Amino acid sequence: MINKVCIFASSCNYLDASYYEAAKELGLLIVESDMDVVYGGSCLGLMWACAGEVKKQGGRLIGVMPTKLKELDVYSDYCDEFFETPCMRSRKAKMDEMSDALIALPGGFGTLEELSEMIVQKQLGYNTKAIVILNTNGFYDNLLRFFDDIIEQKFAGKKAQNLYYVANTPKDAINYLKNYEPENLAITKDDIYAR
């Protein structure tokens, strides 16, 4: 059962309005599904659009932010729990430790790095968490084509296609989480090193 969802997302306040609307819808659906949110602790961008809606709807927020960013005064005072970490690496580890699943909303290099690490963690069998890529406005289309190229050219095995789920709407993302059954990917040496 999924109780805590980790949200990775942009902290930019200057995106097209449709991205914020989708993030807010996701926040609403998370609360309606009785899930808590673990996120980067920010009061900015898509991160806050989703988290702010969670708070508005009476949901629970767990923020995790490295000291360097907290000192820039970009954190939210509305978190029910807030963890300060020494660096970005420890932030990711804490968010991973505290969550049962993750959803990557549109985002920049930080979001891409967080998503990539979680895919690799699952690929190597360190977890069996649901990984959802929320592809609002087709934002991730080019990245997903690149993922297909990675698999097609044998830089990753066919099983890699099962590591993540692409949702085009917040409702699709939440429905996937509600029905998610962890799969034992039976990681072997051949899965990782042979094709």
Listing DSSP states for the chain in one string gives: ---EEEEE----S-S-HHHHHHHHHHHHHHHHTT-EEEE--BSSHHHHHHHHHHHHTT--EEEEEEHHHHTTT-B-TT-SEEEEESSHHHHHHHHHHH-SEEEE-S--HHHHHHHHHHHHHHHTTS---EEEEE-GGGTTHHHHHHHHHHHHTTSS-GGGGGS-EEESSHHHHHHHHHH---------HHHHH--
Residues 62-94: tens digit of each pLDDT: 999 999 999 999 999 999 999 999 999 999 999
Residues 32-60: tens digit of each pLDDT: 999 999 999 999 999 999 999 999 999 99
Res 186: pLDDT: 63
Number of domains in the chain: 1
Res 146: pLDDT: 98
| Residue 153's CATH number | 3.40.50.450
Global pTM? Answer: 0.95
Residues 162-184: tens digit of each pLDDT: 999 999 999 999 999 999 999 76
| Domain that residue 152 falls in | 4-193
